[in-house]
């Protein structure tokens, strides 16, 4: 017999906070597509290299949140 979401939630909420955090991380990671993660890391590395080379510059918070539309 399958466990319902309500039954699982009750058990999970009885766990220590640290254990709930670990479980949450495992659940989130189980949903990641390895191809997507690889692409995301490559894009982050590319953006970081552009910042370090001076090709791009960091934005201020005001610039980041500015509505340019």
Is residue 35 in a domain? yes
Predicted confidence at residue 10, as pLDDT, reads: 96
* Non-local CB neighbours of 23 within 8 Å, separated by 6+ positions: 12, 15
Specify if 42 maps to a domain.
yes
Q: Is residue 21 part of a domain?
A: no
**pLDDT for residue 28 is more than 80:** yes
Residues in contact with 58: Cβ distance below 8 Å, sequence separation at least 6, in sequence order: 51
Residue 49 in domain: yes
61 in a structural domain: no
Q: In terms of residue numbers, what domain contains 47?
A: 31-56
Q: Give per-residue pLDDT as tens, 11-27.
A: 999 999 999 999 999 99
pLDDT of residue 69: 61
Q: How far is 66 from 63, CA to CA, in rounded Å?
A: 5
In a domain, 52, yes or no: yes
Q: From CA 43, how far away is CA 27, in angstroms rounded?
A: 24
Residue pLDDT, tens place only, 30-41: 998 889 889 999
Domain count, the chain: 1
What pTM, to 2 d.p., does this model score? 0.50
Helix, strand, coil share (%) of the chain residues, nearest 5: 70, 0, 30
């Amino acid at each position: 017999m399958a466990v319902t979401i309500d039954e699982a939630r009750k058990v999970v909420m009885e766990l220590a906070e640290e254990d709930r955090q670990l479980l949450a991380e495992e659940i989130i990671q189980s949903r990641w597509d390895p191809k997507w993660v690889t692409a995301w890391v490559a894009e982050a590395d590319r953006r970081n290299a552009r910042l370090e080379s001076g090709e791009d510059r960091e934005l201020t918070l005001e610039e980041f949140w500015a509505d340019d539309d």
